[in-house]
Structure 1
């Protein structure tokens, strides 16, 4: 069941007793989001790397870049640390003010068209801690973002438009999965920045 009509107003959303979201559909005005998209698209060194899924090595269905103080490992892939350029640091500071959290890393995903996607997953790596706060900023094309409760299968859906920010906190990564599904509809590029804090690499 589509529920994005419930989430067109900014504010805090309680997913369950221990999991919450902060939703800001107009975190950046559209003209500024467009400028950020153009800058980031032309500044970062994008890569498409193989990850291990279901025992097979496959190329990720999107491009990405990793910036921060620590390396990050997921799906059998280890991303070496790379300093944040000024534009990513500026966005980080603004996300920290709103979320009241601190971040030291950002995973940037570049969805080139509607065929690029992110499968169902949880950001539950040990180096993120038990209750990570992750701030997700979207630039460019609007894409669907769906959360699904692991036990009840309840779904929450958002349309992540250009300039929006969605913060996931509490035990969202414990009890919920999320995805950016592919679509057959024509779609232009979308850049998604997910700020997080790496606590330990062990």
Structure 2
């Protein structure tokens, strides 16, 4: 009414239809522009990959974690899935009470993975599939002992591992040999020494 003034007074129905047509056209143009800018499924995947992938040509950031108990399938799934989603490499060596997790990637990837390991995963909580018939005192004691520790983080020249994999080792010698084959046996030494010191405190 303010814009069209006398025309709106003479034929309000015609003017209303005219205005509604303009509104519909603007909405149609807006949706068409959005559709033209919309990325395809492949382009969205590439964008997401590019956002999480970092340049590691000048150096690879590596971190070594130790978890006392890693039998819970849900926690193992979280570690593996997050590592793959962040496009990181590494390995998880399972050996008695010395479970070593090594991850390699860029600084931003390491920051996100470190938050997962030290804050997001509740290592003391037990899975739903575990038996509730255990002795409460022993269960509470195990809960207190289970934790994740960041043993070492730094920069190395190149990646030692490929896509993250779980390696079950029956003895400590097998575990150290696995790291030695990848040229990083000192990762195992760091984890083993920390485990010995941790056990002496109990």
With the shorter chain as reference, the TM-score category is: under 0.3
Which one has a larger percent helix, Structure 1 or Structure 2?
A: 2
When normalised by structure 2's length, the TM-score is 0.24
- The structure having more radius of gyration, on CA atoms, is 2
Which one has a larger percent strand, Structure 1 or Structure 2?
A: 1
When normalised by structure 1's length, the TM-score is 0.24
The structure showing larger relative contact order (alpha-carbon pairs under 8 Å, at least 6 residues apart) is: 1
